[in-house]
Amino acid sequence: MLTIGKLAHETGVKVPTIRYYEQIGLLPEPDRSAGNQRLYDGAHRDRLRFVRHARELGFPLDAIRDLLSLSDRPEASCAAADGIVREQLHAVRERIARLQALEEELARMIAQGCHGTIADCRVIEVLGDHALCAHDHAGGD
């Protein structure tokens, strides 16, 4: 059995995050010692590693919840998991496209440069008026 501190150390997940994952149901409540200390087992550790890896891959918590639900049913078809991963891949590709547009816009701003005073600075001008941008890069924050 692992204390929450040891679980955090073994998985690389911070203690408050472990508690949060318990709160939102991604990690089942652990047993408690006679002194009311949380005690985790190998299944908790494996599940937490799963969640951490999924977060590193950018999956939102709802998708992770769905993937965990699927992993709890080993006899189920893999099609649903494939669908979740396809959605994540699509989201990643959209973010990459937005980042590439941002990169191009920033490079364009630098190329047009600032060769005088701030009053004549193209960087300041473009930042003040989105219509001057060559790309629509106004994605989500």
One CATH from 2.40.30.10, 3.40.50.740, 1.10.1660.10, 3.40.50.150 for 1-59: 1.10.1660.10
77-131 pLDDT tens trace: 899 999 999 999 999 999 999 999 889 888 887 887 667 777 777 777 777 877 7
Domain extent listing, the chain: 1-59, 77-141
What is this structure's pTM?
0.76
7-48 pLDDT tens trace: 999 999 999 999 999 999 999 999 898 888 889 999 999 999
How close are the terminal C-alpha atoms of the chain, in Å?
41
